[in-house]
Homo-oligomer: A and B are copies of this chain.
Amino acid sequence: MQDIQQVIEERKQVYVDWLVRLCQQPSIAAQNVGMVETAELVEELLRGVGIEARRIPTSGFPVVYGAVGAGEKTLAFYNHYDVQPPEPLEEWLSDPFAAEIRDGALYARGVADNKGNIVARLAAVDAYVRARGRLPEQLKVKFIIEGEEEIGSIHLDEFAQANRDLVQADGCIWEAGYADPQGRRQIYLGAKGILYAELTARAANVDLHSSWATIVPNPAWRLLHALRSLRDAEGRVLIPGFYDRVRPLTDADRAALQRMPFDEEGYLQQLGLDAFNHHLTGLPLLEQHLFQPTCNICGLWSGYTGAGSKTVLPREAKVKLDFRLVPDQDPGEIADLLVEHLEREGFGDVEVVTMEPEHPARTPLDHPFVDLVVETSREVYGQEPVVYPTMAGTGPMYVLCQQFDIPCVSVGVGHSDSRNHAPNENILLEDFYQGILHLAAILERFPAMD
- Identify the A interface with B (CB < 8 A): 29-31, 84-85, 87-88, 91, 113, 150-152, 192, 194, 196, 198, 203-218, 220-221, 224-225, 227-228, 231, 233, 235, 271-273, 276-277, 280, 285, 288-290, 292, 294, 296-314, 317-318, 320, 322, 324, 355-356, 391-394, 419-424
Q: Which of B31, B206, B209, B297 contacts A423 (CB 8 A)?
A: B206
A392, B214: Cβ atoms under 8 Å? Answer: yes
Listed A/B pairs (17) with beta-carbon separation below 8 Å: A29-B308, A85-B308, A208-B422, A210-B322, A214-B277, A214-B324, A220-B297, A224-B227, A228-B228, A296-B311, A298-B303, A298-B309, A300-B300, A303-B320, A304-B320, A309-B355, A310-B320
Which DSSP category, helix, strand, loop or mixed, fits chain A's interface?
A: mixed
Q: Which 8 A-B pairs have the closest CB atoms?
A: A30-B308, A205-B272, A213-B296, A211-B392, A220-B297, A211-B393, A299-B303, A299-B304
B421, A310: Cβ atoms under 8 Å? Answer: yes
Q: CA of A393 to CA of B212 in the docked complex: distance in angstroms?
A: 8
Q: CA of A304 to CA of B84 in the docked complex: distance in angstroms?
A: 11
Q: Which of B204, B289, B311 contacts A215 (CB 8 A)?
A: B289
Within the complex, the shortest CB–CB distance from A101 to chain B, in Å, comes to: 20
B322, A152: Cβ atoms under 8 Å? Answer: no
Q: Which B residues are in CB contact (< 8 Å) with A424? A: 206
- Among A228, A298, A422, the one with the most B-chain Cβ atoms within 10 Å of its Cβ is A298
Q: CA of A233 to CA of B320 in the docked complex: distance in angstroms?
A: 22
